[in-house]
Amino acid sequence: MKKLIAFLMSMTIIFMMSNCSTTKDDKMTDNPLLIEFNIPFGAPPFDLINAEHFEPAYEVAMQKHLDEIDAIANNKEAPSFENTILAYDNAGRLLRRINPIFSGLRGAETTPELQEAAQKIIPVLTSHYNEIRFNEALFSRIQKVHQNMSLMDYDLEQTRLIEKIYNDFARNGAALPEEQRERLKVLNEKISATALKLTENLLAENNNFILVIDNEKDLAGLPDDVISAAAEEAASRDMNNKWVFTLAKPSWTPFLQYAENRELRKKLLKAYVNRGENDNEYDNKALFVELMVLRQEMSEMLGYNNFGEYFTAIQMAEHPDNVYDFLYSVWEPALNRAKSERDQMQKIMDREEPGQKLKAWDWWYYAELLRKEKYDLNEDQIRPYFSLDNVKMGNFILSNKLFGITYEPRPEVPVYHEEVEVYEVIDYDGSSLGLLYIDAHPRPGKRSGAWCGVYRTAYYDEDGQKVNPIVNIVMNFTRPTGDRPSLLSWDETTTYFHEFGHALHNFFADGRYNRTRRDVPRDFVELPSQILENFAAETELLKKYALHYQTKEPIPNELIERINNAAHFNQGFINTEYLAAAILDMDWHTLEIDPGTCVNEFEAMVFERIGLIDEIYPRYRTTNFAHLFTYDYAAGYYVYRWAGVLDADAFMAFKKSGDLFNRELANKFRKYILAGNARWEGMDAYKNFRGQEPDINYFLERSGLK
């Protein structure tokens, strides 16, 4: 920490020299983001941080980072692990301190001022990182260390660090000759512009369609809250005495589930699946093919046969062939299950609407009837056992039984909102693992969904001391009402366990270097989170945490049975529509595409090849498959189920051992899956834990696909 103060003083001097401005200088020394966090655990002083602090703090941090990078790039000594790789990995510490606070606050407690700051900061930050990635002198030093790797005696962590950093640059084209680099820049610009246009078109298509209802009869079957939401939607558009349904999920899904009017269900579903292919100004067909052709050229330049290979090269799957093997092994059982669900629903339809044949727009509606008959999980009966505090205790108990860790409340740590709770997480040996912030309820400044993030990533300081992480889990769960505490649905309960699993991963992640400490492939990252969802539903754990909030009685077996039974509901449909989209994604990124490829013919070819049934549409069609427009999940839509195979198999290791909380297994899980990401990756890490590759059968069984 001492070094930080010295650096701040030197920065102050530089700042004064370059700006000759005392007011700005005052601002800087007052800026809580730039001075040592002098409170317990070095936690961020949320009570002092304001939106206005970020821009000047970023300005200082980016300049500091650039200076550090320049010093590495211009070093007169021959490139070595220490003066190049390690120095690069350590550079930008101040930025790494500000970044998580800034993005964390923008997710959990944003304000117009923060949003305004973000609009200024984010573009500058993006070009800051780009500038570093295109720094030729820096890359040529990294390249030299990488080339000489085999001659040196690096350990596992060092080797991986060199490879990761080298790859970050090489996958951006840094290793290509000048002329090709220029072409790649052009390609990247075209790719971004095309992706942006696809996204904008989709947004326009989402907003272009509304279903307006002016006859009350057409609302038959819909629950009251759905009807009033539709009335509000209409009112916001100045349509009185009407009801409006949109293509946003919370609007169209309940309509398809409950609306008795079949024609209107058809109209709404058709509008949803046809987004982006209406032959209007927002049509995405030709644009999408353009994107595929550009990605193909980019991948070939970087030495891959196609984009699928480029993406999977750094994933656990390693190659598209392995992804296909996996997708096909689930496809048959999923499709068979979907066919049997269809037949069960047809029987109900024969009773309700004799002579009619089930269509795609009937699926949600009849699935709902089937659910009521066979799988009904009455939320009102369930919730009293899952108070927010109970579910938190469930996670505390589980992590204690598995890993021996405990939790101490730390009310003295400042928070950004009074609802946030802070705990210190203490390891089995009494040492501190860091701080956990829990932020459970929705607020106007919070984005929707649930997530786990950090306010400080762990690191090792100059003296080799570990600085612990500060982890947060943020949710949007049911609020308490009157004298009733917050009572969670089953879905919210499993979400809590899910995010808690990510949090444990953050606490346990270890390793000497920043780049590799918690570096996990995208098809591996949901293993630590999803495995905890399995524990949540186990009788042995439920009896400990699911206690009625008034009587304190543990949840009865009959309700546990219902919870487990409901897990199989509609799984044929859910998996089939998902897999069809995942296969479509992989096909686009591995099969030969030319500028004349017709989107509709391509899709028809794919769905015919896999035998998709008419009653099910894929979860996304090409022209509205937003995951594929940007780099985030292009060729990577498979990752969700891939991780499902891992967590089902990993959990089965605990079940089969005869001890749900098997400490020995938990220690291995901690060592190889949660802590060891700096040394082992993907299947290597998994096999270290399990002794073998995962068996897909556990996933199939759990989803009712066997």
Nearest CA to 366 out of 615, 700, 612 is that of 615
Q: Which residue has the tokens 């993406």?
A: 311
Minimum gap (Å) between residue 542 Cβ and Zn ion: 22
Residue 472 contacts residue 439 (beta carbons within 8 Å) = yes
The residue ranges that bind Zn ion (CB under 5 A) are 529
Containing 258, the helix (H) or strand (E) segment is helix 249-258
Between 304 and 640, CB nearer to Zn ion:
640
Minimum gap (Å) between residue 647 Cβ and Zn ion: 11
Minimum gap (Å) between residue 526 Cβ and Zn ion: 5
3-state secondary structure 627-689: HHCCCCCCCCCCHHHHHHHHHHHHHHHHHHCCCCCCHHHHHHHHHHHHHHHHCCCHHHHHHHH
The Cα 279–Cα 464 span in angstroms is: 61
Strands 432-439 and 470-474: parallel
Between 529 and 662, CB nearer to Zn ion:
529
Minimum gap (Å) between residue 450 Cβ and Zn ion: 9
Residue 532 contacts residue 563 (beta carbons within 8 Å) = no
Containing 245, the helix (H) or strand (E) segment is strand 243-245
Of residues 205, 233, 424, 499, which has the active-site annotation? 499
Between 532 and 628, CB nearer to Zn ion:
532
Q: Which residue has the tokens 């699926």?
A: 363
User: Would you say the C-alpha torsion 576, 582, 586, 588 has a positive or negative sign?
Assistant: positive
The Cα 265–Cα 271 span in angstroms is: 10
Between 307 and 642, CB nearer to Zn ion:
642
Between 306 and 494, CB nearer to Zn ion:
494
The residue ranges of DSSP E strands in 428-577, in sequence order, are 432-439, 451-456, 459-460, 466-467, 470-474
Minimum gap (Å) between residue 682 Cβ and Zn ion: 17
Minimum gap (Å) between residue 644 Cβ and Zn ion: 12
Contacts of residue 319, defined as CB under 8 A and 6 or more positions apart, other chains included, come to: 309, 312, 313
Taken as a whole, the chain contains a residue count of 706
Residue 534 contacts residue 650 (beta carbons within 8 Å) = no
Minimum gap (Å) between residue 672 Cβ and Zn ion: 19
Nearest CA to 356 out of 364, 367, 345, 370 is that of 345
Between 472 and 622, CB nearer to Zn ion:
472
Minimum gap (Å) between residue 500 Cβ and Zn ion: 11
The residue ranges of DSSP E strands in 99-231, in sequence order, are 211-213
Between 530 and 590, CB nearer to Zn ion:
530
Q: Is 499 a catalytic residue?
A: yes
Between 14 and 450, CB nearer to Zn ion:
450
The CB density around residue 88, as the number of other CB atoms within 10 Å, is: 23
Hey, which residues does 467 pair with through a beta bridge? 459
Using Cβ positions, the residue closest to Zn ion within the complex turns out to be: 529
Residue 411 DSSP one-character state:
T
Minimum gap (Å) between residue 648 Cβ and Zn ion: 16
Containing 409, the helix (H) or strand (E) segment is strand 406-409
Residue 618 contacts residue 579 (beta carbons within 8 Å) = no
Q: Is 611 left (phi over 0), alpha (psi -120 to 50) or beta?
A: left
According to DSSP H, which parts of 589-625 are helical? 599-610
Per the structure block, which two tokens stand in for 124? 């500058």
Between 529 and 590, CB nearer to Zn ion:
529
Contacts of residue 658, defined as CB under 8 A and 6 or more positions apart, other chains included, come to: none
Strands 466-467 and 406-409: unpaired
Catalytically active residues are 499
